[in-house]
Amino acid sequence: DGAGAGASPLAGFQLQRVLGDSAREKIIFLHGKVNDESGSERDAVVILEKTPFLAENITDVLHGDPAPQLQMSNDVYSTYSLRPPSQLNEIKTTLIFPATEKHIKKYLRQEVFLIQETGEDYRNITLPFIESQSFSLQWVYNILEKKAELDRIVYENPSPTDGFVLLPDFKWDQKQVDNLYLIAICHIRTVKSLRDLSSEHLPLLTNILNEGQDAIRKRYAISGSHLRVYLHYQPSYYHLHVHFTALGYDAPGTSVERAHLLSDVIQNLQLDSQYYQKRTITYALRADDPLLQKFRDAGKC
């Protein structure tokens, strides 16, 4: 069994499968087996991550042996394959051994699927699904009724129809404004998402945009030209809320298949009050999302 000098469980790692990876971040998560000291086979997780470039090594990386191999050339652009000496190109390696089922699940990637939800799909599939889920909004109501998080409120417009509460998102540690993240939660309780909006909500939406930006400028000295203001569809809970994140912060959930800029939503409702009832909306669902199964059952994906 096991390769190597018996010193390192990593040397005996036998790959079973790739749990997940990120081509953008050059990281991969692996599940494998390693024999423990008694010779029993046990689960292990290995995480490999390429290391960032170091400015001081760049010249050695570029001009080492072997020379870069030209791959493609067009006008002023050319690409090469470069194979620098291995000591300049390390891989950060983490071993979890023995690994539990929980470790393995943590790194197991779920496949995602793009849904094209028509207005009809919303009414026939998504809305009944949302209504069948009794996911509690009590924590939202606690905020709106000042029963919780009272000290966290940054701004409030108390109007029951056009008002909202602005407060830091749970994900923001509030240590620095680089990753600023606040949420505006509207007082009205009948708007589940983008799909329920019509032109009657324009006063509410413009209040959130204008007063939210003002409040953030006053409290955090961040101007509107440095804020990304958007809704999610699908949202993570079905009570209308708006996200405010620092523009320079590549926050999760800002990609085009989930985020809808509030300024675009306002313009679309000005153009057509029923825009979000009629529109086919594109979004991604994870393989284990029960809503995906509803779309499959309906033969829609």
> Whole-angstrom Cα distance, residue 136 to residue 84?
55
- The residues in 42-81 that bind a second copy, with binding defined as CB under 8 A, are 46, 48, 50-53, 55, 58-59, 61-63, 67-68, 70, 72, 74-81
Pairing of strands 155-157, 164-168: antiparallel
Stretch that binds a second copy, among 134-142, 156-164, 204-212, 233-241 (CB under 8 A): 134-142
Q: Is 84 in the site for a second copy (CB under 8 A)?
A: yes
Stretch that binds a second copy, among 127-135, 155-163, 170-178, 197-205 (CB under 8 A): 170-178
In terms of CB distance, is 132 or 135 closer to a second copy?
Answer: 135
What is the per-residue DSSP string for 158-222? --TTT-EEEEE-TT--SS-GGG-EEEEEES-SS--SGGG--GGGHHHHHHHHHHHHHHHHHHH--
The binding track of 242-271 with respect to a second copy, each residue x by CB under 8 A or -, is: -----xxxxxx-xxxx-xxx-xx--x---x
CA distance 52 to 92: 10
Q: Which of 35, 89, 124, 198 binds a second copy (CB under 8 A)?
A: 89
Element (H, E) at 297: helix 290-297
Considering only residues 131, 170, 203, 210, which one is a binding residue for a second copy as defined by CB under 8 A? 170
Among 6, 40, 41, 98, binds a second copy (CB under 8 A): 98
Q: Please, which residue, 34 or 240, has the CB nearer to a second copy? A: 34
Whether the CB-CB separation of 95 and 44 falls below 8 Å is answered with yes
Instruction: Report how far residue 95's alpha carbon sits from residue 138's, in angstroms, rounded to the nearest whole number.
Output: 41
Q: Are 27 and 52 in contact (CB under 8 A)?
A: no
Among 33, 124, 196, 224, binds a second copy (CB under 8 A): 224
Q: Which stretch binds a second copy (CB under 8 A): 126-134, 154-162, 196-204, 273-281?
A: 273-281
Site residues for a second copy, window 182-221 (CB under 8 A)?
none
In the window 2-41, what residues touch a second copy (CB under 8 A)? 3-5, 7-11, 13, 15, 18, 21-28, 30
Q: Tokens 């470790």 correspond to what residue?
A: 103
Does the active-site annotation cover 201? no
Maximal CA-CA distance, the chain = 72
Active site residues: 241
